[in-house]
A and B are shown apart, each in its own frame.
Chain A
Amino acid sequence: MKSNLKIVLAGEGGQGVQSIAEILAEAAFAAGKQALYIPSFGVEQRGGVSLAFVQIGEEPVSAPKFATSDMVGVLSSRSVSRVRQYVAPESLLLYDSSLEEEVKKVYGPGQRSVSVPALKLAEEELHPRVFNVIILGVLLSLINFLPLERVKEALERHLGHRFAQDPVLRELNYRALDLGRQYGDVRERR
């Protein structure tokens, strides 16, 4: 593991980018890592692209923001070019398969990347609401050092009140997480 893993996530407001960033950072903290999460919170947030910055490491994190990141997750069409400044040649770009064309246009065919049909999987196999949790699952498998239990506990802290009202939701989130993880695993083996 890198001593300080830097991750940017971007999507439309309401896609749950901030939720999965916070859950990821919180799970890392619970697993004994150092972590820092900061959302972008300009006024453009309403009706604009929502960015989340996460850093995970062994040493206390220095500055909250950074120049380029190790992983960039892109969840929506407008986010593709919005994250341009954070993408270095060695960054791993994770994006929804529906964004294939935009990604190739902005980053060219040579960019290190992983595409995941998360939107399609969510719609066809689960529920559109858990699209972001599939992405979280993929991230987990790519990061590959965070115990699943810590992530489930963080999910519980964030969504426990909703799970209590409708226990099916918990199952749905767990399945989304697993689906994402499996997908990430498969991608890694290739």
Chain B
Amino acid sequence: MAERPLTGERRAFMAGNEVLAWATLAAGADVMYGYPITPQNELMHYWTRLAHRFGREFLQTEDELSAGFATIGGVLAGKKAFTATAGPGNVLMQEPLSMAEMMRLPVVVIVAQRGGPSTGTVIYSQQELNLTCFGGNGEGFRVVYSTSSHQELFEYTLKAFNIAWKYRFPTFILGDGYQSKMYEPIILFDPEERGWEMVPARPLLGLPGRPGEEREPVHLRNTFNLEEELYEVVMAAAGDYARAAADLAEYVTFRADDCELLIVAHGVVARAALAAVKILRQQGLKAGYFRPITLRPLAEKELREAAGGARLILVAESAYGQLERLIKPSLYGLEQPVHGYFRPGLGITPEEIAAEAAKILNSAGYGL
């Protein structure tokens, strides 16, 4: 048996893409299928450099459609398979990912958001929220983790494989170009040494025994003849998703209990939002923050509660209102006005959010 990728704790200073390579190895991923695209490239490079040392596999496919379908093939065969992509590659990958959603396949996908629409920039954005949460011709029965630090990239990637194989919904790590390319401190560890229970993979097809006689037949279908057949399968998935949502939804708040202005942000922008709240509090302004960690499913009840306790809401994102659209249904019926600080494809600093927040508070008469 090949050696374990990590033993003990390893304190390191590395780029996010390298963190992801270690995370997928530590999660027990058997194989990566991928096609190069910035800013996820180095994840593939690190994986190809490291994987063989631990008995893992890699296949570069001819495009992202193929990478997605190959990942499906991997999980059908009972392998912990994953892929990684960005921007236009994420667009192409939606066809296989819709199939994974239909067939309830535990694929794990890492997305490094870049600027869009189209080829956009190779740099950074939060513009792949819609696509990652609801891409394809489906209902968005997906689990999407929006990470905001290297430690989270590592730990949510470990978790993503467990969630995918336990619940059988396609599971995503929604990162971005900044997180992929930046270097920051991280503690790498072996999850089982820490007491994590890692969910094993199992073959989904080609099981032993005669179907219908010695075991239940496996019907993994993405094509149906009758409206009713499709309806039944999609409704079953909807029910499973709704039941799992309470277990899956994760969020963080800070000073949200007594705030006048609630700042909502996700991913790397949440770092700036948290820092902005600290700046505003020092100025004597009552700001708080709510950060959804899972964008799908969203912690709707908790978000509504936090928003209901505030007077004003500010959504900050490196996109033109994708997060705002995602959260608005949870706020339906509340009277608090929602302001957007939208910077599509642009990084956001704490000072910018703090200035915007102070402006909104002052103009609404809640300032100093």
- Chain A residues within 8 Å of B, Cβ to Cβ: 22, 25-26, 29-30, 34-43, 60-67
Query: CB distance A41 to B38 under 8 Å?
Result: yes
- Chain B residues within 8 Å of A, Cβ to Cβ: 13, 38-39, 121-123, 149, 177-178, 181-185, 268-269, 271-272, 274-275, 347-352
Query: CB distance B13 to A66 under 8 Å?
Result: no
* 12 examples of A-B residue contacts, CB within 8 angstroms: A25-B183, A35-B183, A35-B184, A36-B183, A42-B121, A43-B121, A61-B184, A62-B274, A63-B349, A63-B350, A64-B182, A65-B178
**Bound Cα distance A186, B3 (Å):** 52
**Bound Cα distance A34, B122 (Å):** 27
**Least CB distance, B242 to chain A, in whole angstroms:** 35
Q: Which of B274, B347, B351, B352 contacts A64 (CB 8 A)?
A: B347
Query: CB distance A65 to B347 under 8 Å?
Result: yes
**Least CB distance, A145 to chain B, in whole angstroms:** 17
Q: Which of B177, B269, B347, B351 contacts A41 (CB 8 A)?
A: B177
Inter-chain contacts of A62 with B (CB < 8 A): 271-272, 274-275, 350
By beta carbon, the residue of chain B nearest A30 is: B13
Q: With A62-B272, A63-B272, A64-B268 in contact, is A29–B185 under 8 Å at CB?
A: yes
Query: CB distance A42 to B122 under 8 Å?
Result: yes
Query: CB distance A22 to B38 under 8 Å?
Result: no
Inter-chain contacts of B185 with A (CB < 8 A): 29, 34-35
**Bound Cα distance A66, B181 (Å):** 16
Inter-chain contacts of B272 with A (CB < 8 A): 62-63
Query: CB distance A67 to B351 under 8 Å?
Result: yes
By beta carbon, the residue of chain B nearest A4 is: B275
List the 5 closest A-B pairs by CB distance, nearest first.
A62-B275, A38-B182, A65-B347, A63-B272, A29-B13
Inter-chain contacts of A67 with B (CB < 8 A): 349, 351-352
Query: CB distance A66 to B184 under 8 Å?
Result: no
By beta carbon, the residue of chain B nearest A38 is: B182
**Bound Cα distance A67, B13 (Å):** 24
Inter-chain contacts of B149 with A (CB < 8 A): 60
**Least CB distance, A19 to chain B, in whole angstroms:** 13
By beta carbon, the residue of chain A nearest B180 is: A41
Query: CB distance A38 to B351 under 8 Å?
Result: no
By beta carbon, the residue of chain B nearest A63 is: B272
**Bound Cα distance A26, B347 (Å):** 23
Inter-chain contacts of B177 with A (CB < 8 A): 41
Query: CB distance B178 to A22 under 8 Å?
Result: no
Query: CB distance A41 to B181 under 8 Å?
Result: yes
**Bound Cα distance A25, B275 (Å):** 21
